[in-house]
Amino acid sequence: MGILGLFIRRFLVRPKWLGKKLSYQSGFIAFLIFLLMVTYLAAFFVADADPATRVLWWVHTLALLTFLPIIPHTKHLHLF
């Protein structure tokens, strides 16, 4: 829910004090965080033998492997 609020505040209802420049880098990082959380939570509702479990695992793993090398090159280093 918080990541959805971040998206709305950053891209739809942008406060004037944030300036006019949009940070698409921030949006991409937010999307990856959202993807990590959704796949993690969805795994609790899928049976272990279900093929969807494997898809969720791969999506989660690929999102994480995309997320990790990007972080040191952005302003989001504080996440570590």
Domain spans of the chain, in order of start: 38-80
pLDDT at position 49 is 77
**Tokens 């302003």 appear where?**
75
Is pLDDT at 31 greater than 90 in this prediction? no
Residue 44: which pLDDT band, with cuts at 50, 70 and 90?
A: confident
pLDDT of residue 60: 93
Whether 76 has a pLDDT exceeding 80, the answer reads no
Helix ranges (DSSP H) in 1-80: 2-7, 24-42, 51-70
pLDDT at 63: 92
Look up the pTM and report it. 0.73
* pLDDT computed for residue 61 by the predictor: 94
